[in-house]
Amino acid sequence: MSGADGPATPRTPGALDGLLVADFGRVLAGPYATMLLADLGAEVVKIERPDTGDDTRSWGPPWVGEGTDREATYFLSVNRNKKSVALDLTTDAGLDAARDLVTRADVVVENFLPGTMDRLGLGYEQVRELNEDIVYCSVTGFGGQSDLAGYDLLIQAVGGLMSVTGPDPRTPTKVGVAVVDVVTGLHATVGILAALRHRDRTGEGQRVEVALLSSLLSALVNQTSGYLAAGIVPRAMGNRHPSITPYEVFPTADRPLVLAVGNDRQFAALVHVLGLPDLATDERYATNAARVAHRDELAALLERALAARAADDWFEALTAKRVPCGPLNDIADAFALAERLGLDATATIEDPRRDAPILQAANPIRLSATPATYRCAPPRLGEDSAPGPG
């Protein structure tokens, strides 16, 4: 196995060593949070339904393996470093096993519909009676008072993200990954770590609540600020930026190139490389505010100049002058770029249960003393269950 900062072994100490997490999360937001905790050393016990397990075990293609060994790459993406225990929570035996786990745990993570864990006798107040210093994280779609199911596409739609994504206001478009789930998982992780820090100081546990909708509204940053502070309701602008220009995709002689010019120095360097130095002092383009006001005219000038050379040629010439830009990569290209830059973006997880190692995106958090480690591959359903009923 390899760690985010080089080779690592199962004995490498983690920042969260000794922490036990009872993971009742399913699909993406909860499991992403608990995988980050697991990468940093926590012991994560994933509770799954017998027979079917986490919904994402059946979310394919893509798959790896064949026949009964076939696994969905979706499930693999957020469940490494965990144990899988299959429990039927509708039975006394299953609930007894779950109560035993939460009594021993430091952290509980769940993303059932609000009220479900309470009905099972595993809600926050009920668990706190068993384990008074528990850190209990609930992930919901719309908050604890709503029983609406929170799927990422739905939140992207009702939360406004699709209204600012896509080629124009008439074509609302989702982001190409379940970004709301990922952002919510990150917020859950931060909340859990903050609650653990509080517990370290005071001995007190607490409840952590994170909702997909509120996480999205926070993650819309400048777009929500524009609305709340200035009353501006943003609309989709394709690949353009409402406040910066040039900050978009341009065609070149072969493939698209992104320019992400964030200040006047970068703009002056850009137009000098393009052979258009007079634009740097033209009052229509000399400042960012002026460029935004004349973005169409400026885009036409830049597009004509960029058509003269290939994207990689422009990338080399412009980055040499510290102009932020880059060709439009696919995911394979992106990993190749990360490798060239020495980012160690890939984790290789050896697993004797599988014919070949599993390659995954590495944990991006770099810790110099307690790096992330990859101790085991995503588990088979129920492989860590105790023998007997449950």
Are 52 and 77 in contact by the 8 Å Cβ rule? The answer is no
| CA atoms 38, 39, 42, 43: torsion sign | positive
Two structure tokens written together for 163: 């209204």
Q: Got the DSSP string for 344-372?
A: --EEEE--TTSSSPEEEEPP----SSS--
CA distance 52 to 58: 8
| C-alpha to C-alpha distance for 157 and 140, rounded to whole angstroms | 16
β partners of residue 210: 139
Angle between helices 212-219 and 179-202 (to 10 degrees): 100
Catalytic residue among 23, 181, 330, 333: 181
In this structure, the dihedral spanned by the alpha carbons of residues 297, 301, 304 and 309, taken in order and rounded to 10 degrees, is: -140
Radius of gyration for the chain, computed over Cα atoms and rounded to the nearest angstrom: 24
User: CA–CA separation, 192 vs 50, rounded Å?
Assistant: 28
Whole-number Å distance between alpha carbons of 224 and 216: 10
Distance CA 59, CA 331 (A): 20
SS3 166: coil
Residue type present at position 287: T
Strands 206-211 and 135-140: parallel
Q: Is 181 a catalytic residue?
A: yes
Residues annotated as catalytic are 181
